[in-house]
A and B are shown apart, each in its own frame.
Chain A
Amino acid sequence: MDWRDHGILLGQRRHGETSAIIEVFTRDHGRHAGIVRGGTSRKIAPILQPGAQLDVTWRARLEDHMGSFTVEPMRSRAAAAMSGRLALAGLNSVCALLRFCLPEREAHHALYQRSEQLLDLLGQDDVWPLAYLNWEMALLEEMGFGLDLSACAATGTNEELIYVSPRSGKAVSRQGAGEWADRMLPLPDFLGMGADITDAGIAEGFRMTGYFLENKLAPALGNKPLPEARARFTELFGRLSKL
């Protein structure tokens, strides 16, 4: 069996003296693991950094086998990520969340495309946090916990959408929340009311997506704790934005 695909390297670890086991999020085959022979060599090890865009060929005798990859680098993103601490924390968070959420060997074309676009923006710290927030919402949607921010779940209006229901993930207006307002999650005003995008609003967005990742997605995946890399990224964003 063999196939060839493009993919994003999510992580790698040593296997024996000279090989490495890598996990790649591929376009047509989803999250897929395999062995890279000679993966710890001076020639290949620098290529196998998280976030790298690779052209991979997978081979195995049977489909159930782990199999082995041969890899060709397409784009290295490590240098862009290493240029700043926010980019590095963001890259770690993206790779950790993809490893956390994605089932093995199941294609997610839309999420793959969003992830590739997001990682290509690494190093552009002025636009990256917002792109990351949008990517987290796309991740939730792909995993079946999408947020519906188009209209109020209670009244149907699209005016003054300032809350999100923690139960349904739907937007709720000020009027629609009524006496339940204190149980609602705040919705960033740039998402609900088209206000200007601010760092404070993006941080509020991270708290909102964090809630659904932790309380909806994680329990559905066997109650594993969310990767610490995400908390480090959002904490760093808050600190660098002086929030």
Chain B
Amino acid sequence: MSSTSDIDSLIELMARLPGLGPRSARRAVLHLIRKRGQLLTPLAGAMQQVADTARECLNCGNVGTSDICDICDSEKRATGELCIVEDVADLWAMERSQVFRGRYHVLGGTLSALDAVGPEELRIPRLLDRVETEGITEVILALNATVDGMTTAHYIADQLGERVRITSLAQGVPIGGELDYLDDGTISAAMRARKAL
């Protein structure tokens, strides 16, 4: 048993990853061992590298390998537009779409009465600083269309006042969506936000 304890502990760790359980972790580890040269060794190296260098950007909260991330460092991104997102996964989703060429600010969550998350727990003071110092002309609130997300959006809008233009993402029918399958809240929001063709 002791001869496989290293493998067992790897399986145990892998099983903690999102989307994996003990059985799928065992399959993944077995696959890695069989592809030792092509997968296991490079993966171990890459993981060690990321463990050594990954950190949060001091400016926006994005994840990168230096104190200031590539987006904040790029002069081309200084368009005066700042997009506010809840977490890094949302930032990556926005970047995938390639529709926004400004900079981001990652809040690190939303205000939540249930989880006792107040404004102090989020990066809102830093956001207010950035609006002042980076010549921001428009703040785009790209927060989730949930009660907590919208509560946070309104709170930020109140904090920013009339210093900058504040916009938020539209809500309504998704591309490829069928009305029959939409919930009544989405249909109601889409109806209110209808536009002339």
Contacts and interface: CB of A to CB of B under 8 A. Distances in A.
Contacts of A95: 113
B114 interface: yes
Contacts of B145: 82
A41 to B, nearest CB: 13
A133 interface: no
Contacts of B192: 83
A227 B184 CA distance: 30
B143 to A, nearest CB: 11
Interface in B176-197: 183-186, 188-189, 192
Nearest to A52: B185
Contacts of A12: 114
Given A49-B147, A88-B147, A89-B151, A79 B186 contact: yes
Contact of A13 (B115, B146, B188): B115
A91 interface: yes
Contacts of B114: 11-13, 23, 99
B118 A76 contact: no
Contacts of A229: 113
B19 to A, nearest CB: 7
Interface in A82-103: 82-83, 85, 88-89, 91-92, 95-96, 99
B144 to A, nearest CB: 10
Interface residues of A, number: 31
Given A13-B115, A17-B18, A83-B192, A50 B147 contact: yes
A49 B150 CA distance: 12
A78 interface: yes
A80 B146 CA distance: 12
Given A17-B19, A229-B113, A88 B151 contact: yes
Contacts of A50: 147
Nearest to B19: A17
Interface residues of B, number: 21
Interface string A220-240: 000000011100100000000
B105 to A, nearest CB: 21
Contacts of B186: 46, 79
Nearest to A73: B183
A88 B150 CA distance: 8
Nearest to B116: A228
Interface in B108-151: 113-115, 118, 145-147, 150-151
A140 interface: no
A51 interface: yes
B154 interface: yes
A49 B186 CA distance: 12
B113 A82 contact: no
A27 B118 CA distance: 31
A89 B192 CA distance: 20
A96 B112 CA distance: 10
Question: 5 nearest interchain CB pairs?
Answer: A79-B185, A76-B185, A11-B114, A79-B188, A85-B154
17 contacts: A23-B114, A46-B185, A49-B147, A49-B185, A51-B147, A76-B185, A78-B146, A78-B185, A81-B150, A82-B147, A85-B154, A88-B150, A89-B154, A92-B113, A92-B147, A96-B113, A229-B113
Interface of B: 18-19, 113-115, 118, 145-147, 150-151, 154-155, 171, 183-186, 188-189, 192
